[in-house]
Structure 1
Amino acid sequence: MQSTPAPRAALLTLLVTSLGSFMVLLDGSIIFVALPEIQHDLDARISDLQWTVDGYTLPFAALMLTAGTVGDRFGRKRAFLVGLVLFLAGSAVCGFAPGAAWLVAGRVVQGLGAAAINTGSLALLVSTFTDPAGRAKAIGIWTAVSGVSLALGPLVGGVLIEAFSWQAIFLVNLPIGALALLLGVPGLAESRNPQAGHLDIRGQVLVVGGLFCLVMGLIQGEGAGWGSPLILSLLIGAALLLTAFLVVEKRGSEPLLPLDLFRDRTFSAACTVAALLGFVIVGAMFFMAQYFQSVQDRSALDAGLRLLPLTLGIFLFSPPASRIAGRIGPRAPVIVGAAVVTAGFLLLTAIEPASAYGAVWWRLALVGAGIGCMFAPLTLAVMSSVPPQRAGLGSSMINTMRITGFTAGAAVLGTIMLTGFKGRIAEALAALGVPADAGRGIAEQVGGAGALAGSGDQGPTDLPVPGERFAAAVDASFVGSIHVVFLVCAGCTVAAALITAVFMKRGRPEAPAAPPPGARAEAENG
């Protein structure tokens, strides 16, 4: 740090950007232990919970690349501070939301701010710490803070909910963000990239529209009917918009998504596997939090503690996996990690509603350790396959793919669970002697409530069977449905291992070629 021209200003930049990144990633994982509380308090459906996750991750993923270009052109400090203001505004809306619609709207505003914060924070660090050693230390600290926030999110959420309410997980952002603004407005130095390209407005509109139609169609498909005109229109619209996006990006002179990067097999494989990894992380955290709280009736704090083997596994195994990948290459750690995650998910298909925690925690730890083994090596694979002058774009790309997978996971896996859940409830009621038509009607009535359908709050009031037997049937149906989700996740990690084995290069990552004359500014500014 001492090699920077102004150590105090540089350290202030590191502090402010780390605070911003801390909030963004904390909100990505803290939400999972709050979902059952939100569902109970706002009388929300499973689809509302899916949107509570995707309302944040969809704009985050779709706007990240554009946010970087906006910062380069109009000022990284300005973009970062605007992101902070948006994030705080969205947090306030979420914290005081009177209903599910307001909560989702606040999450969207948070996602807009998160895209600017995430890209702006790293760009500010790169432009502030100009010497390689100082930059490496700063990015290492920034990454460590991000990892801590991701790992501790469920536990912090449980503490806040236990002490106050679920609203506190959003309102806690206000003092943190206010401190970042108070320090950042006078303390951050403005920087720009005079060679930054033009904004790809057409590409941005097409990708946002396509992803929105796709997520909307997937989440609402079960309720509206997969063959309904609305859902068919959304899915066809998504296909057309995303196809048009690829055409525009291929022909554009300054595309939002440079498709030429995907000519490199390692880059393509790493980005694809990163998307699959984001997909399965949702499968573990989204449903295991509900399993602990809604099925086993644990408090939010208990659920956060019980998720620690998963989140700490990610945090603790990422650094050694990164060092191993630096010595032997990312291919082997990613394959090993994918195999461990697959084993963890397959073992989780054996849990039952009343399973003791001793039979669950080590299975979660396997999933977390495997994800940790994959996380950093995938980033190394991407960064080693792009030239230095495109390093910022490469970093943004893998983060975008990871969050896109996260978004798809909440939509797709939630829909798979909901479809299976309704069918299982109907079968369970039939086994209890309820007529088939009545059983299907009850399943449709309560299916969207998930495991809370067995409670007195969101369950039917005129049950044809004793309430305790119905609650047991709901719990068994929910757990059976998440078994299917875990099987899908295991299939995704098998696919990730195969993609890595076939397409990712062997051996240590090669040193990237030196940038052409005049490209140094772009490389340093990210």
Structure 2
Amino acid sequence: MGSGGTSQALKALGELNPVAMSIITNTFTDSRERARAIGVWGAVVGISMAAGPLVGGLLVDSVGWRSIFWLNLPVGMAALALTLRYVPESRAPKPRRVDPVGQVLVIALFGSLTYAIIEAPTSLTAVIPFAALSVIALIALLRYEPRRTDPLIDLRFFRSAPFSGATVIAISAFAALGGFLFLSTLYLQNVRGLSALQAGLWMLPLAVPTFLCAPLSGRLIGSRGPRLPLLIAGVTMTASALLFAVLDAETSNTTLFLGYVLFGIGFGFVNAPITNTAVSGMPRAQAGVAAAVASTSRQLGQTLGVAVVGAVLAAGVGSSPYREAFVTAAVPGWWILTGCGLVVLGLGLLTTGPWAQRTSERAAERLESVSGSVAAPSLVRAVKK
């Protein structure tokens, strides 16, 4: 608990959020420079993954778990001071109107879906109304948003295969991350009986490769495009999950270490192409919208990953002794994470080729034909890059 709380606090300085991505896009206008900047910034996630569990474990073992929340205060104050000092002002030429109906529909969709997944192992009949609500909210959202001048989510951008692919890859990659950390934390502390600090030390083989590979991913995107980083990410994340699903990697320190390293490499490579693709397909004035979709996809993926893997694990453990049943009960969860890795790999291949490029060009042409659209010219330039 302490490790996770501190990790979230420290990641406040490095999480790829809509405002921050808008700043990067307006500061680094060249596509290669922007890719490298995103890669360097992605390395901050690796620092937080290393420092968060260690500092959190130390605080929990020495001061108490409530101390992890006090750590948010200096982090927030530092972020505020650095923003005032270094972040230039930038804004869209035309403010977007608030879309309260769209916001309510999105909340209803994701909230009911997550609740239905979490409660499914307990009672299927009890979750049917929430599953139905999520379907109704999705249908209403798809019908309502295209009719608004300033929609919460502009569905026209999803006609671009690279942009849609980046969204699905973000959901899959962060679902894998959420499920991976969930299973790993439970195993290290509840099965092996490690302290919070000792469990935090085991996160280093995951965090260090993330820190090292994120800048390299940004450089590869700047020089060769997003395909190679996505393929590396898909292969290594899949291989990591397979180690646990097939070889019970938890039962050996060597395979456990190797599984963490492989997943850290994959996660380090996957962040930059997601964000770069999402923002490159949007005009500078719409950078906040593009980053919001990417950031929401990340958060949604992590939430769904924990919900799905947690539900599967709870159903597998049942009333059996927890320590004895965990490794076996976790196997379906690891296969789910394997599927997430394969999604990253498959979409990395599919959405970075000539066909995907043509869909981006067609999407740009459609946007250009829409009267009053400020997005199309910039989108065309971004696609042609």
Q: Is the 8 A contact 1:33 1:300 kept in 2?
A: no
Amino acid at match of 1:282: G
Structure 2 equivalent of residue 351 of structure 1: 248
Higher RCO (Cα < 8 Å, 6 or more apart):
2
Structure 2 equivalent of residue 222 of structure 1: 121
Instruction: List gaps (5 residues or longer) in structure 1.
Output: 1-26, 35-55, 57-90, 92-112, 426-472
Q: Normalized against structure 2, the TM-score is what?
A: 0.81
Q: Percentage identity across aligned positions?
A: 29
Kindly provide the CA deviation profile for residues 240-293 of structure 1, in whole angstroms up to 9, marking residues without a partner as x: 012211211122221111111111111111211111001000111111011111
Structure 1 equivalent of residue 52 of structure 2: 153
- Mark the CA change 1:369 to 1:215 in structure 2 (over 3 Å): closer, same or farther: same
Matched, 1:202 2:50: no
- Mark the CA change 1:402 to 1:187 in structure 2 (over 3 Å): closer, same or farther: closer
Q: Is the 8 A contact 2:16 2:295 kept in 1?
A: no
Structure 1 equivalent of residue 382 of structure 2: none
| SS, match of residue 196 in structure 1 | coil
Structure 1 equivalent of residue 213 of structure 2: 317
Q: Is the 8 A contact 2:160 2:356 kept in 1?
A: no
Task: Report how far residue 393 of structure 1 moved.
Answer: 2.4
Q: Is the 8 A contact 2:44 2:211 kept in 1?
A: no
Amino acid at match of 1:351: D
Amino acid at match of 1:210: L
Kindly provide the CA deviation profile for residues 69-123 of structure 1, in whole angstroms up to 9, marking residues without a partner as x: xxxxxxxxxxxxxxxxxxxxxx9xxxxxxxxxxxxxxxxxxxxx99x99434454
Structure 2 equivalent of residue 482 of structure 1: 330
Amino acid at match of 1:203: G
| SS, match of residue 504 in structure 1 | coil
- Mark the CA change 1:310 to 1:417 in structure 2 (over 3 Å): closer, same or farther: same
Amino acid at match of 2:195: S
Kindly provide the CA deviation profile for residues 464-500 of structure 1, in whole angstroms up to 9, marking residues without a partner as x: xxxxxxxxx4312111111221111102211332223
Please give the residue correspondences for 1:495-510 in structure 2 after superposition, counting only pairs within 5 Å: 495-505=343-353
Structure 2 equivalent of residue 170 of structure 1: 69
Instruction: List gaps (5 residues or longer) in structure 2.
Output: 379-385
Task: Report how far residue 179 of structure 1 moved.
Answer: 4.7
- The whole-number CA distance in structure 2 between the counterparts of 1:181 and 1:187 is 10
- Mark the CA change 1:198 to 1:317 in structure 2 (over 3 Å): closer, same or farther: same
| SS, match of residue 360 in structure 1 | helix
Task: Report how far residue 333 of structure 1 moved.
Answer: 2.3
Q: Is the 8 A contact 2:175 2:301 kept in 1?
A: yes
Task: Report how far residue 159 of structure 1 moved.
Answer: 2.2
Structure 2 equivalent of residue 392 of structure 1: 288
Q: Normalized against structure 1, the TM-score is what?
A: 0.61
- Mark the CA change 1:294 to 1:142 in structure 2 (over 3 Å): closer, same or farther: same
Q: Is the 8 A contact 1:329 1:506 kept in 2?
A: no
Quick check: which has more Rg, 1 or 2? 1
Q: Is the 8 A contact 2:21 2:291 kept in 1?
A: no
The counterpart of 2:342, out of the listed 483, 494, 498, is 494
Matched, 1:281 2:177: yes
- Number of aligned residue pairs: 364
Q: Please tell me the root mean square deviation across aligned C-alpha atoms, in Å.
A: 3.8
